[in-house]
Amino acid sequence: MSKTILVTGAGRGLGRTLAEQLTARGDKVIAHARSESALDGVPHDRKLVFDLAEPAAIADAVAELGLERLDGVIHNAGVVHIGTVAEQSLEWWQQTLTINITAPAELTRALLPALRAARGHVVFVNSGAGISAGPKWSSYAASKHALRALADSLRAEEQPNGVRVTSVYPSHFATDMQRSVREQYDADYDPARATSPDSIAKTIVDLLNTPADMVVNELRIEPPNPLPIRARS
């Protein structure tokens, strides 16, 4: 049976791959991006255009969709700034926390009536940094630890309503963000030692198709032989 799934950050990378795989299996995709042009070439049934850096606009944007039922939302969009605590500016902190945690929380709140009506599924694309934080990851890891807390609270609150909640923790997969991280670290990057977006997307799509009598609360994903992030000597 066809489902309606909202994907944030659908304009590129994992989000675009998710939109492609969901559409290929017959689902209807509501594609989110910061601009309409970002969705050029992205398969979707409907679009949701707003900047996650401005979460005050989310409720009105969702209301315009007029959703009565929503089978799932995949919180995929995010930003990362690499630097020591001494280097992290106030602007970096504010942008990272707003986009990575405040916006997903507000979007989820706005979507909850439709998710409850469909007994839907909320998937948070987290990170290994949401489990443990290393040097130069402070703002990003803080936002991802907070995202884990949001997922845990939401899961406990919405169980009586039949809403399922999953946190996915992919590590070292081939995206523009991973390349950006390596560049900021001045570290080598080998996509052959990273998990492909296709594999991550397939795993998330499969999670959305789990039987109604079960839920995967958390899932960690790593490549078999990841290249450590170390600055070139």
CB 221 within 8 A of CB 207: no
Residue 26 has pLDDT above 90, yes or no: yes
Looking at residue 183, its pLDDT comes to 74
Question: Does 191 map to a domain?
Answer: yes
> Across-strand partners of 31?
7, 47
Looking at residue 84, its pLDDT comes to 95
CB 143 within 8 A of CB 100: yes
Looking at residue 229, its pLDDT comes to 74
Question: Does 221 map to a domain?
Answer: no
Structure tokens at 151: 């997922």
Average pLDDT over residues 14-43: 97
Question: Does 232 map to a domain?
Answer: no
140: annotated active-site residue: yes
Question: Does 220 map to a domain?
Answer: no
Residues 6 or more apart in contact with residue 203 via CB below 8 angstroms: 168, 219, 221
Looking at residue 42, its pLDDT comes to 97
Residue 187 has pLDDT above 80, yes or no: no
pLDDT per residue over 1-14, tens digit each? 899 999 999 999 99
Question: Does 230 map to a domain?
Answer: no
pTM: 0.94
Residue tagged active-site, from 140, 169, 185, 189: 140
Residue 233 has pLDDT above 70, yes or no: no
Looking at residue 164, its pLDDT comes to 98
Looking at residue 162, its pLDDT comes to 97
Question: Does 129 map to a domain?
Answer: yes
Domain that residue 170 falls in = 4-214
Question: Does 57 map to a domain?
Answer: yes
Looking at residue 230, its pLDDT comes to 76
User: In CATH, what number is assigned to the domain containing residue 63?
Assistant: 3.40.50.720
Looking at residue 216, its pLDDT comes to 98
Q: Residue 105 CB: number of other CB atoms within 10 A?
A: 17
Average pLDDT over residues 105-123: 98
Among 7-21, 88-102, 160-174, name the one with the lowest average pLDDT: 160-174
Residues 6 or more apart in contact with residue 184 via CB below 8 angstroms: 81, 82, 83, 136
Question: Does 224 map to a domain?
Answer: no
Q: Give how many domains the chain has, as a whole number.
A: 1
Task: Look at residues 175, 165, 174, 168 and name the one whose alpha carbon lies nearest to residue 125.
Answer: 168
Looking at residue 173, its pLDDT comes to 79
